[in-house]
Structure 1
Amino acid sequence: MSDASGVSEQKRPPLPHEFLPPVPSFTLVSDDVVPGGELSGDQVHAGGNRSPHLRWEGFPEGTKSFAVTCFDPDAPTGSGFWHWVVFDIPAGVTELPAGAGSGKMEGLPEGAVHVRNDYGTRDFGGAAPPAGDGPHRYVFTVYAVDREKLGPDAEASPAVVGFHLRFHALARAHVIGTYEVPAGG
Structure 2
Amino acid sequence: MFVRSLSIGVAAAALLAGGAQAADLIIPTTPQPIYEAAGFDWEGLYAGVRAGGQFTGSDASTYATVPVNTTSGVLGAALGVNFIPVDPFLIGAEVTGDYLWNSSATNSSEFFANLRAGAVVTDSVLVYAIGGLGTHNRGAVNTGVYQLGGGVELAVTDAITVRGEIVGQGDFDGAADSFFEGAKATVGVFYHF
- TM-score, with length taken from structure 1: 0.29
Q: Whose radius of gyration is greater, 1 or 2?
A: 2
Higher relative contact order (CA 8 A, sep 6+): 1
Q: Which structure features the higher share of strand residues?
A: 2
